[in-house]
Structure 1
Amino acid sequence: MVDYSKWQNMELSDDSDVECLPGIDKRSYMEFLRRTKQAERERRKGEIEALKNKHSENVVVAQQVSNLITSLKADTASKSSDQDPFETAVGIVMQWSLQGVKSSESPPPPPGDLTQKTPEPTSSEKILGFLNDLENELNEQHPGDCYRRDAILDGLAACITDIESQQAEIAEKISILRAKDADKITSECCRTGFNSSHIKKAGTVGPESDDESSASSSEDDDELPATPAAIAFGELTPSDLAGSQALIACHPEILRDSEVNALLAKAFKAATKNKKDPKPELKGPAAFFRRMVAPGGELIRQFHQHVALRLHRLLNLVETNPKRRRRKGDQTQLFDAEPGRHARIGVPAVGSAERTIFDKFPSQMREALETGSRNRVNQVLGRMKFAEAKEMVALMGEAKCISVREETLDGTGGEGEELRQLPASA
């Protein structure tokens, strides 16, 4: 479920919902409001950055104060108590400063803060200032007290407690400022999802030149190569559903149309070499479905009929073009793309725009189209060059001389009986 509540916080204005006093230009007033809101957002950004820097600085100061307490306790155990503990603490802090302790430099000013001219004190300077104030306070309250070292340790512990309370206040202020920024949707909320696309370039179908001497059977074999996985899939029998499923699981790429076309091309080449009954591996489609093993066998029967129809069309194509492989070059022919979808040949009506295109056809092509015979049209196309025939087919489509007609077969009549007998005859 998509939550659209955030769009309720978007500030939209078409100038009609803005009210201003008479005599004040509305556009100038709206520009003033826009600049004011932008200045408030920039101010909140600066406050958030300053609080973040303060938070990081307090973390460093608290760590150094904790280390100072540990060093003072270790110095008390190892040395005599005659030395002033303040001098010992100041010496430790100065040694850290000379050694370049992390974050001993002043923090950078927050962005947009142009009023800050003097740099912020470093963490070492802050600790030294705290020790100086603590020493003055103890000298006023307990001058010459022998428990000054314990008082210093207590003061440093109280300093850590104050820093922790400051950290909690800083975190609360940052959360409040961020909540104000998140209350309204601005252009800063936009993020780039993606800015590029990767699309495979479509390959060009057909020969690159009309050089008839470039056509050969070896080059045709390279146009649609069958992968070893596809060949292994073709070697399986149609009834071996378990083996087909295992092979598809290991090699899902054989489900591509290119693999199916490669197997069909291999079957066509085998049929043109006087192999009237290609092997079963050249008949299978791209995939087997689990529903094919359901009780009743209806889907597997339909599958066999589909395979038989495709094989029947393949053999018919070979028989109608016995000399195609012996001729050099490519040829454009009209044929049915799928079973049950037939190409219908016709001529456009007289006086129509398509008729104007039809009248520009060669006389032989016009006569072939007027007969309505696809074989006559294929004969005329076969005598043309590939590029000329390809252009002629495109013009025939523009003139609406070719149309696809769906055919419904009656499964209870003679056509259905012939359809059921195709697997047995194949």
Structure 2
Amino acid sequence: MPLNYSKWDQLELSDDSDIEGHPNVDKRSLIRWKQRDIHEKREVRKHKIDALKAEIACNNTLQPRLKRIKERIAGATGLGTGDWAEDAEAGKTQTGLAFFQYLVDRLQTSPSSAAPPTNAKDQPTYDAMVLSLLLQIYDSVKALPKDEQEKGVLEGMEKHIKQLREHTRKLGSDLDAEVKEQNKHITSDDIKEGWENKYVPPKPAPPPIKNAITEVPKNKTTKTTTTYEVLNQPASSSSAPAPSASADDDDEPEDLPELTPSLARFSRLPLWNYAQSFSFIQENRDVVVPGASDALLVAAFQAQSDGNTAFAKQCVHQSLLLQYCDKLGKDGVRVFFQKMIAGDKRAVPIFVKDVEDTYAHLVTRAAAAAAESSSSAQKEQIQLVPENADSTISFNVPDGPPPENLILEGPETEGLDVEEVRKALMMRWTVFEGFSPELKDALREGTLESVNKVLGQMDVAEAEDVVSKLDLVGIMSFAEGGIRDETGQAQEAEGEDD
């Protein structure tokens, strides 16, 4: 097959061999001037082509407008549905010179800002060009009699429309000639990359969910112990001690997987709307990752515990969607949703039943967890129990504040300061008055059962504070041993109350 080399004739080269200059001018300067001349002519031609295209586009806009104005003056009504001044509702019923005068007034008072898309300075608008033409036509016919002015306007309009059409045709011929001249030479603008690499590397796979639950946890490792048989066995007394329990034996609760922003939006999708879920998965690759299904189940359990049953069922539904897609293999997402969207009579009932059963099991587990939490909270209470059968606990309730004339009597009162005793008695009374009415009534009753009943209704911290105050001011006294709470932790007695 013969090869065609004619395209290389379009190359415009600035070679040294085709330049002949004056002997007093160096050839290097002549070459630079030649290159600059080529580029300048190329830029001038490019600007001329752009100007011709803009002028032709402007004439193509003005020509139908002038034709429509001429027809309206000639008597046609209701023409045009555009946004120009001649298409306004106010002038649709007018014809002849009345319409001509209306149009001139309209273009002068409220012209449109639409103009040809050029960068020329002070570029006139379309309305300004039409108004200039109409005023030019009116100046040429205003000297005629009134009955001949309308005919003169129509002749002037027809003349200018014909001139505009001929001028546009000439501009088109000039444009074709300039484009043909431009295409004679190959320039840098015509260079196209024929073997450009369009390969785009695939996006990396999204990471798994944080704290994702895997089948084999990393901290569960199998330890292998190698023993060696020796000739001289060590004595039994020098045998190695039994291995101690390692830290791996006590499994600490791991952090549960949490919803990512994409999974949170995925969990809000409505039930049984398989098409919407499939579209969401296609747009968000980070939904189908390890741990996503477990994170949705954790969110479902939390929502059910908080009483948000609708959201809990949505999370279960979306979690099972991901589980089914994973079980169907590499192309499981497409296969599963293709069957569900098509309404497969075998696949849909199975999936619906699995969702209902899983949600029912979740409801049961959440209720059991709530009951277990409530019962464990009720068991935490403080109770006063004698250390042994010989110990006794009594309560010395003050009758009131110390009297003004306090007299100390008895053998054990020698050397005591009256004011210090008064302060101690006043502190006891103040502490007693700060207790709740139920506790004061139980203390006045003086039985351990009544006091424990009131302490059992308090929080652990509040009950511990009450016991410490009773012991501090001497309202509670005991002998031989001490008292202990429900866990059996003894509180050592410091002595009997005076």
Task: Please say whether Structure 1 and Structure 2 have the same fold, judged by a TM-score greater than 0.5.
Answer: no
Q: Which has the higher contact order (CA 8 A, sep 6+)?
A: 1
Larger Rg: 2
Report the TM-score range of the alignment, normalised by the length of the smaller protein: 0.3 to 0.5
